[in-house]
Structure 1
Amino acid sequence: MREKKTLVIGASLKPDRYSYKAINMLVSNNIETKAYGLREGEIAGIEIDTELLPYSHIDTVSLYVNKNRQPDLYNYIISLKPKRVIFNPGTENTEFQELLLKENIAFEEACTLVLLSTKQY
């Protein structure tokens, strides 16, 4: 099985948020998970980092940040050299997707929760 280490960007401590649910589901599927958000805290044993850290070997970036807040993250995400970026519903961004294509980074407009629950992650 390929390495699926995932960075969730836009992690929220609010249990009704999809990023919160995604972190829980990633952990329950034994997928190594990192989280970045605006507030420190912990979800399912995963610390939320409030700094953009230079993680290594990130397979997937799962975005939960709307497109207006993404430009500040473009260079950071590209620098991680993930295999793919998942644009969860509400985060679609053609400008960023074009940059990812130029860097040979795959992306998909999908829902991390659905991909996990249908074993397509």
Structure 2
Amino acid sequence: MTTLILGATTNPTRYASLAAERLVSRGHRIIPVGIKQGKVQGAEILNGLPDVPEVDTVTLYVGPVHQPQYYDWLLRVAPRRIIFNPGTENAELMKLARENDIEVVAGCTLVMLAGGTY
């Protein structure tokens, strides 16, 4: 299963970095996307709106004010679901996702992984 981490960072104290570590440790493939440069768990952080292979899940670590620039791109990526981590909830993007048959999950990737509900 491939998870795109939107808001990826090399800062090990950030939740996006912790999610990358835990996803990889559980055998998930990650595609980190963000504005930072560098690698996360051995994967290069992609910048801009990159072409990506098939994605099952997008986990958001970008706040609502910065999300509109990603709307059309996320719909083109067409994941099965988008996880809106705490602080990333956005009614407009949630509505767009649902209208495009993308499952919307308001939850925490780290908690889901720990509880076996990912």
Give the TM-score range, shorter chain.
over 0.9
2:71 maps to: 74
1:19 maps to: 16
Shift of 1:101: 1.1
1:5 maps to: 2
TM-score of the aligned structures, taking structure 1 as reference length:
0.94
1:51 aligns with 2:55: no
Shift of 1:12: 1.3
1:109 maps to: 106
TM-score of the aligned structures, taking structure 2 as reference length:
0.96
- Cα distance between partner residues in 2 of 1:6 and 1:35: 8
- Cα distance between partner residues in 1 of 2:116 and 2:40: 22
Q: Give the number of aligned pairs.
A: 118
Structure 1: any 5+ residue segments left out of the alignment? none
2:58 maps to: 61
Shift of 1:14: 1.0
Shift of 1:32: 0.7
Shift of 1:57: 1.4
- Cα distance between partner residues in 1 of 2:49 and 2:111: 26
Task: Tell me which stretches of 4 or more aligned residues in structure 1 moved more than 6 Å.
Answer: none
Q: Deviations over 1:10-53 (max 9, x none)?
A: 01111110000000111101101100111111121121111321
- Percent sequence identity over matched residues? 38
Amino acid at match of 2:74: I
1:35 aligns with 2:39: no
- Cα distance between partner residues in 2 of 1:58 and 1:111: 18
Structure 2: any 5+ residue segments left out of the alignment? none
